[in-house]
Chain A
Amino acid sequence: MSAQKVRWVSAFSFLLFCASSVPTWGSARLLRELSPHDYFSSLQAGRASLAYFSHDASPGAQPFLEQIENSVEALQDYGISVVKVQCPKEDVSRYCGEENALRKAYLFRGNMLMREFPTDALFDVDAVVANVLFALLFNEVKYVETLADLQNIENAVKGRSNIVFAYVPATGTAEHRAVMEAAFVYGTVHQFVLTTEATLLKDTGNDKPDVSSARLLFCHCQRATDLAQPCRRTAMGQALTLLNIHRHLKLMGAPLVTEVAEDPEKVSTVHLQLGLPLVFILSQKETYEADRRTAEFVAWQLLGKAGVALLSRDLVDLNVLLRSNVALKTPDEGVPIKYLALEDTDEVITLVEDKSKVEQIQEGEEEEEEEEKENNNQDVQDDQVVEAVSRDKKRELPLEQILALTEETFHSALLEAARTVVLFYASWEAVSLAVLRSYTEVADHLKGTRGVSLSRVNCWDWPGVCTKENVTQFPTIKIYEKGERSVVYDGMWATEELTSFIMLSRVSCPLKLATIDEAEGYLRGEFPSELSSYHHTSLLGVFSTATSEAREAFEEAGSILSGHVTMGMYFEDDALALSRKYAVSPPALLLARSGGQSVEGIALSKQSAQDMVQMIRYELLDIFPEITVQNLPRYLQLRKPFLILFSDGDISQMESEEMLKLAKGRPQRAFVACWLNVRKTPVGRGVLKTYFATVPSLPVLLWVNLHAGGQVFKFPPEQSITEANILSWLEKLKAGLEVPSSTLSEEDWKPPLPAYDFLQMMETAELPLHTSHRHGDTPAQHPPENPGGDVTIQETKAEKVGSPGRDLRGTAPRLAAREKQGKRHSEL
């Protein structure tokens, strides 16, 4: 018996291909006609055969014979031979003799009679095949009549195998045949259960079973551990055909969730092969367990409709938005994988069940998101500066070093010190307060510095002073020179920069140098002594007495750059000596970078002060700078692409030299060659994460088209950073031979969250009154469900009652309620 089964199973794949699609195959007469003797002697053990007996002329059996003849081929596929036994006229043996026997067909296995079929049970090919297989597979296919029978079977196989439960309205139908044919193949794998009792269908959990159509359920009993619980069932959605059943069983047999660690484009599973979509749940290390549960949940929901795979992002370099959490791969070729950010599992299921809804979900999701935010996040502070300041407000600032000025004391205070730095701020304004914090640090640095006094004016208290001093924005810092001019600070709001500005502006700009020695000392950074501790580039204008025009422009430029740059000028008679030393002819500019180790000379022509300012600013830029938060804007102003080396710590001598060579080789600054130390500028990691999702191994050299297109290219990490390599890489870039690793987002800065729509609330409340006054062009703002308007009002009123404003008694619960919402309200 078991050997026979094995044979049957092995025959299956062949069968599948031919069973339905190639039925006419080998239609040579397979129906053997034998005499009773021949027949009975030909019967082999284990072989099944269907035989009918006939006399020459028995016209009544004619249609029945036709059906038998037609099913010969089908039965042949299952190794069942069909034999027509010609009864001799005189034969009155058991099968030939009886009148009734001639109206029956007999199924033998070996020479054992298994079953006799009345001819009316074999009304067509389906019936013949179904009934014959049903008779043969009595072990594999249990017929049940009651629920109890079914449950008994379930309990018996729980933990061991699964059940394929089929309901057919009647035996002998095409569906019945399909089930039997499937059982022929899968009978050893799954327990098949068949019923024709519609009540069983009802009891198996179908709410509204259509008793006229056959159904097939896959009962997952193998996984069932709890004997008290019925097995999970998955109904087959399609019509009961052999192919569909095969497909269904194949799907049920596939792993619930496939773990994937390769490019999803390359992944293929049973589902895709069977024309079903595959859903990827994108996971990462941190959330793996949760994602796995999610995947399983989704998989159960989608069983038979789509496959579910769990894709670990950590293992695969995905070039998709990080917020995407689901991907959908369809079996259609050439359709790219769709990456989505879905909010709940229902969306995943909808996604599969109705593909047309995908777009809607995406749109709807955004709306929903907004709504949700309207409810939850709108009143949560999302301004980092405001939030930081309000979290810091309980800390008392060390303001002792900073004089608070009033309308009355302002003018007299300015006269007291040589230089008075005044911070104009508003005590309610966050940026002002952030700057005030840095200002206290400046005060700390400058403690004891002679001739500089630090003070502040709160414009919320003294608006008159601020208006008079032409302060229109908060914060503003002005440096007043005793009884003279004032300079507005226009640098970074940072301790270091402001301190340096204050210190540098103590020295007049440009500083008139009296002797050659002073000039030399100045270039070495030793003179004037108060600046010697500040590392800076010194600029020295050298003028002959004749070049007053250039000198005036230089002086004007100096007043513009005061505080940012140290500028000196020398125009004594022996200026020529100085210019000869540095091989320039006056008017000229000498540039001493970092303590006079190298002095560059630049000829000055007839430039306006503004041009000179531009030129000086340009000259002060480094050739291969280390980019920091503070200095980036200066280099961005060149509006050139960046060739930037991200490094963890200092860059190596070799890299530095190669990059410098590269930068120096292009005099026109076609790009900004620079480097970034992620230890010093940790936000550099943030930049890299945005480009590559994770921080790649450092150092990494990138070409960033900051101002045109925004493409980011990554220098091949396997190549060493040499001028030649970089140059040839850049050539390839220009030729368009490289693929960008990332592209800077072009997204606009839209409002982070919606505002309260008071207009709509007011309109809803006033709707009956002012309908006629409304603009014609804003109909979209009116809710279509006008009758619902009243409800809204009541609701808001009710809410209002629940949120007493001035009533102190209500305060505690109100605050408590807020706590519950988990919002950040540092305000009471």
Chain B
Amino acid sequence: LGLALYASGLCVVSGTAFLYHDYCVIGAGPSGLQVAYFLQQASRDYIVFERSHAPGSFFALYPRHRKLISINKQYTGKSNSEFNLRHDWNSLLSHDHRLLFRHYSRDFFPNADTMVHYLEDFASLLKLRIQYNTAIIHVTLERDRQAWNGHYFLLTDQDRQNYKCSSLLVATGTWVPNVVNFPGSEYVEGYETVSIKPEDFAGQTVLILGRGNSAFETAENILGVTNFIHMVSRSRVRLSWATHYVGDLRAINNGLLDTYQLKSLDGLLEGDLEDLAIVKDKKGKLHITLRFYLENRNTSAGIDSITLPQDELDNFATRAPYDRVIRCLGWKFDFSIYNRSLKLMPGKGNKKKYPQIKPSYESRGTRGLFVLGTASHSVDFRKSAGGFIHGFRYTTRAVHRLLENRHHGVPWPSTIYPITQLTNSIIKRVNEASGLYQMFSVLADIILLRENATAFEYLEEYPVGVLAELEVQTGRKAPNGLFVVILEYGRNFSGADKDVFYYNRAVGEAQHAWQSNFLHPVIYYYKHLPTEREMRLRPPDWPLPHPDAIHHIVEDFLTDWTAPNAHILPLRRFLENCLSTDLRNFFAESCFLFAFTRQKLPPFCRQGYMRMQGLLGSQGLRHHAAEAGLLEDHTLTDLLGDRPPDSHEGSQDQLLRDHVIPVRPLQHLVNAKDE
């Protein structure tokens, strides 16, 4: 059916002409381009609609002061391209090495124009199919049992042109400025239009509504020329380095905190904007009062009759009049274009600026409608990076993989390894994977165990929120248990009011790894795929339900988890105990001994030596192993005849326990007792 429709390209339904595509993407911003790239790579029938004449139109205007707060790290000391993406927050994912942001800007915090330029290049170099100057103004559904999702999406643009799609990918971001209505809000200037020239604010007293990065960015810009700046917001300031959430106030913008806390020059106030009112006096100065006072006054009276808070409370904080009031309250999703039948509802509470979606990024109301990019941030709002390029480039890829499986029978990409590679696969991924790192607690690697735990299947970056639906969503089977590899911060470590610099905040010992605070890998083991009910009932703060076993790899100052004893060894023990097997490596000589003396062999010998891929090891290495008491040196025994007793003790190891002469002296106990 899909093919037929694709072939026709244009179909006529009840007299109206529709242009048909399997996938329609609204918005050619970063996430729209990102999903277009994956659809293009998979040779899918798709189109991207962009109301502007170029991609990334949001960045053409915002941020107003043009400095992006996403880092663009030139040097990491590593050449690993996957790892380096951990510190590249601006690039989109592609196979083209030219399309790395570091080739576009050398600034640690690049200019927004560079982003626009980058996105243009991304669209053109990759030849993405984007229809510019097309503003979708209405989206509705057409029921059709034949359609992928039981309905088609009908899109109408500003020219009344109609489009029909099987799947709708909404990548419009959040671009509608948040406004508050209170008496006098007409005197308020918006962030989107306010002057960005500091000289326009010289000698002025400014009140800024809002406490996000745009508010502080605005303040930062004029800090040096104003009399003073006050900022009002309902909630307390949240510093991103304390909350580990990149959407909170970034250090680069927080100059005002400095002047406030040092010299009480500028200031922060907490209060509900809805209760405010602004009155303008005859000199054009703006006074803050409360809506409550205005409601009680005689409507006909002039400004003088209005009660100001300082009339009753003469040290009222904002009693000084302001020259300007600027609103910097952020943006929200544009819900207006969707027909009611799509049931695209705003989220609850602080997520009301985002549409409600499932952890699979599919709309709660409409099957086949996926929300991508910034607008999809309700999944991990104030937790992870899903609202930002460096996060949603991965969630977008995940959505694409879900779609490939659902509509094209292409299962989630996976690699099958022998079980001997289990520890290695995990170590490799937690050390280099950027998707796991950026989308911590949201995307996870899944390891599906094969029967008898002789092999496993590795799936990368699956959204853990839909773990219960794994088999349906990926087309892979999980009958023999699974591991979930995820990165987490320590619970209760991050938070707006937390002291993140307290003494001994870092754990150094592997045995205390569960108390790690900084981002560190956590591996969950389930004997059975968790059910949806278990997912729903998971403990608060847990990304996943109660596992059958859990392992934390101890936090590392260098985020380098390759230390043989502190990182790899405890992980191996954990995996061994989950699988009830022995995952150690053995030299061929040990395998030889086992082959002759035991009816069963450890996996490493079975999968290596017995298939003529044994690890002989150099003489030197075997000597080291013998010195460590982990390999018996039969030559040595013979040559020395009677060995000194201490070397004998040294060779007492668990490994070959049954093969060495056991010396289990009881006398030390005797001696202890005699004393």
Binding site for B on A (CB under 8 A): 281, 284, 286-287, 290-291, 293-294, 297, 321-325, 341-346, 348, 377-379, 381-392, 395, 406-407, 426, 428-431, 434-435, 437-438, 441, 460-464, 472-474, 490-495, 497, 629-630, 632-634, 636, 678, 681-687, 689-691, 704, 706, 710, 744-759, 761-762, 766, 769-770, 773-775, 778, 796, 799-801, 803-807, 814, 824-827
Contact = CB atoms under 8 A, between A and B. Distances in A.
Contact of B565 (A294, A379, A774): A379
B127 interface: no
Given A437-B621, A633-B609, A752-B654, A286 B600 contact: no
Contact of A434 (B504, B508, B615): B615
Given A490-B612, A491-B613, A759-B549, A392 B624 contact: yes
B87 interface: no
B295 interface: no
Contacts of B512: 796, 799-800, 803
A683 B589 CA distance: 7
23 contacts: A291-B667, A293-B667, A294-B666, A341-B662, A384-B587, A384-B655, A388-B628, A407-B79, A426-B424, A428-B562, A431-B585, A462-B80, A464-B82, A683-B589, A683-B593, A683-B634, A749-B602, A751-B582, A755-B574, A796-B515, A804-B508, A805-B509, A827-B566
Interface in B550-602: 550-552, 555, 557, 562-566, 568-570, 572-574, 576-577, 580-582, 584-590, 592-593, 595-602
Contact of A492 (B428, B612, B630, B655): B612
A434 B564 CA distance: 14
B42 interface: no
Contacts, number: 369
A806 B506 contact: yes
Contact of B659 (A386, A460, A462, A690): A690
Contacts of B603: 749
B348 interface: no
Contact of A745 (B508, B534, B597): B597
Interface in B22-69: none
Nearest to B516: A805
A629 B78 contact: no
Contacts of B538: 773
A773 B538 CA distance: 6
Contacts of B580: 748, 750-751
Q: What are the 8 tightest A-B residue pairs by CB atom distance, in nearest-first order?
A: A805-B508, A494-B616, A428-B562, A805-B506, A751-B576, A682-B634, A384-B630, A385-B585
Contact of B669 (A344, A690, A753, A824): A344
B445 interface: no
A386 B658 contact: no
Nearest to B415: A472
A749 B601 CA distance: 7
A687 B616 contact: no
A369 B663 CA distance: 16
Nearest to B671: A293
Interface string B529-561: 000001001110000011111111001010000
A490 B608 CA distance: 10
Contact count band on B: 35 or more
A271 B175 CA distance: 95
Interface string B641-663: 00001001000011111111111
Nearest to B594: A749
A388 B622 contact: yes
Given A761-B514, A766-B539, A799-B512, A426 B628 contact: no
Q: Considering residues B418, B621, B637, B662, which has the most beta carbons from chain A within 10 angstroms of its beta carbon? A: B621
B584 A752 contact: yes
Contacts of B421: 472-473
A645 B10 CA distance: 82
Contact of A294 (B78, B415, B572, B670): B670
B88 interface: no
Given A493-B614, A796-B515, A754 B550 contact: no
A490 B613 contact: yes
B632 interface: yes
B107 interface: no
Nearest to A436: B618
Contacts of B352: none
Contact of A391 (B417, B628, B659, B661): B628
B509 A803 contact: yes
Given A293-B667, A690-B659, A752-B576, A744 B597 contact: yes
A379 B510 contact: yes
A321 B658 contact: yes
B549 A385 contact: no
A391 B615 contact: no
Contact of A472 (B417, B509, B511): B417
Contacts of B673: 297, 345
A431 B537 CA distance: 42
Nearest to A564: B612
B14 interface: no
A290 B609 CA distance: 41
B121 interface: no
Contacts of A287: 663, 665
Given A322-B658, A751-B582, A755-B570, A762 B550 contact: yes
A681 B551 CA distance: 41
B573 A751 contact: yes
B665 A754 contact: no
Given A381-B565, A796-B515, A686 B634 contact: yes
B611 interface: yes
A800 B550 CA distance: 20
Contacts of A291: 665-667
A746 B598 CA distance: 6
Nearest to B663: A287
A384 B653 CA distance: 10
Given A297-B670, A682-B638, A633 B510 contact: no
Contact of B621 (A388, A690, A801): A388
Contact of A686 (B546, B587, B632): B632
B540 to A, nearest CB: 8
Contacts of A629: 588-589, 592, 614, 616
Given A344-B669, A495-B618, A634-B612, A383 B601 contact: no
B341 interface: no
Contacts of B632: 686
Given A747-B600, A762-B514, 7 more contacts: A323-B658, A379-B565, A384-B631, A462-B79, A634-B612, A744-B599, A755-B551
A473 B666 contact: no
A384 B574 contact: no
Contacts of A392: 620-621, 624
Q: Specify which of A324, A438, A493 lies most central, judged by the most chain B CB atoms within 10 Å of its CB.
A: A493
Contacts of B648: 286
